[in-house]
């Protein structure tokens, strides 16, 4: 097994779970770790919200032993609030603190944070420096290729991050204006890797073990980060790890096995957030596990109505029964 180090934090060189707001919560991260994710990053928390003692924001920073090595992620555009937020975040004992300079969502960008920082390189550098000077753990930065096709400046930003003390930089190969459409530009990730000495994490369009290896080989990046490719497929991390270490991997689970993984995932959500809130939030991830099954569209509609664990159990049994009946018809 190969490893990389980010500011002294040792991480397997397989695949990490990308930070994904409203997706990669604790349950999602635990599932990814149980299936072999080398490293996970929490949901982004507002620097200003932390400094104003927002309880819900602070809840995004908790770290459990089963998630390590783990980073907590902050977003903000005012260095003074970044300083305060880093000091608060460190109370939760993260292994790494990550500064989000890549989120393209309007509510983040409108405040000058996320991808908007890529339009103001000088301020970006000040934000990174403020975080590094306040932190006692490594500070990393997540960026995109640029704001749009006419302003691809990931190399410049990565160099600024390095100059201001960042321990690593993660690069999503899309611009802000692309959001999640089109193809990720791996050439940008490769250019960043060639321009800095700190570790570079590549992100974008890795959905199979083969594509993970291809990203390593093409970009030369130090670690690959998987985001949407893991939706309803936490076993992808195990497949990647097996493929990189042995050259082969097990096929995807059977529909019945996938339902068991779904059950485990949703129970973790409920365990963390309670049944009322947890089941509402579980509807979306539950539907991901059904992709490709016979009758998936109908079952996804039923997922949107889930309110209790008992309903979940009945839905799982219904899907199993109908899948079995269809299998018998095919014989």
Q: How many CB atoms lie within 10 A of CB 330?
A: 7
**Phi, psi (rounded to 5 degrees) for 113:** -100, -175
Question: Does the annotation mark 103 as catalytic?
Answer: yes
CB 209 within 8 A of CB 239: yes
Going along the chain, which residue ranges are E strands? Answer: 3-6, 9-12, 15-17, 40-46, 70-75, 96-101, 139-146, 168-175, 200-203, 223-226
Minimal CA–CA distance to 179: which of 220, 225, 228, 120? 228
Q: How many CB atoms lie within 10 A of CB 162?
A: 18
Minimal CA–CA distance to 172: which of 194, 139, 140, 146? 146
CA distance 165 to 10: 18
Choose, from 47, 51, 103, 303, the residue flagged as catalytic: 103
> Quick one: tokens of 168?
């690593």
Bridge partners, residue 5, by sequence = 10
Cis peptide bond N-terminal to 69, omega within 30: yes
SS3 98: strand
CA distance 6 to 10: 7
Dihedral angle, C-alpha 90, 54, 267, 39, nearest 10 °: -30
Catalytic residue IDs: 103
């Amino acid at each position: 097994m190969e490893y990389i180090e980010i500011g002294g934090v040792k991480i397997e060189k397989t695949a990490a779970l990308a930070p994904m707001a409203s997706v990669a919560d604790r349950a999602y991260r635990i599932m990814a770790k149980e299936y072999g994710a080398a490293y996970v990053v929490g949901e982004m928390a507002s620097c200003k919200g932390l400094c104003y003692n927002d309880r819900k924001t602070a809840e995004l920073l908790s770290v459990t032993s089963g998630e390590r090595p783990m980073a907590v992620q902050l977003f903000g555009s005012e260095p003074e609030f970044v300083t305060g937020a880093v000091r608060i975040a460190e109370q939760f004992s993260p292994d790494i603190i990550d500064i989000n300079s890549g989120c393209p969502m309007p509510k983040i960008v409108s405040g000058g944070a996320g991808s908007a920082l890529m339009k103001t390189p000088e301020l970006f550098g000040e934000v990174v420096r403020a975080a590094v000077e306040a932190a006692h753990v490594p500070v990393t930065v997540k960026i995109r290729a640029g704001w749009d096709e006419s302003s691809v400046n990931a190399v410049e930003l990565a160099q600024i991050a390095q100059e201001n003390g960042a321990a690593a930089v993660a690069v999503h190969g899309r611009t802000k204006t692309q959001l999640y459409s089109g193809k990720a530009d791996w050439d940008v990730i490769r250019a960043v890797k060639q321009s800095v000495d700190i570790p570079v994490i590549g992100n974008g369009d890795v959905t199979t073990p083969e594509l993970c290896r291809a990203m390593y080989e093409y970009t030369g990046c130090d670690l690959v980060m998987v985001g949407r490719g893991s939706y309803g497929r936490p076993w992808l991390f195990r497949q990647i790890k097996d493929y990189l270490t042995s050259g082969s991997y097990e096929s995807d689970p059977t529909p019945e096995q996938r339902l068991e993984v779904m059950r485990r995932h949703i129970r973790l959500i409920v365990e963390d957030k309670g049944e009322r809130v947890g089941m509402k939030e579980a509807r979306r991830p539950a539907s991901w596990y059904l992709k490709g099954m016979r009758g998936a569209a109908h079952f996804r509609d039923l997922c949107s109505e889930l309110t209790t664990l008992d309903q979940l159990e009945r839905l799982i049994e219904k899907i199993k029964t109908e899948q079995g009946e269809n299998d018998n018809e095919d014989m």
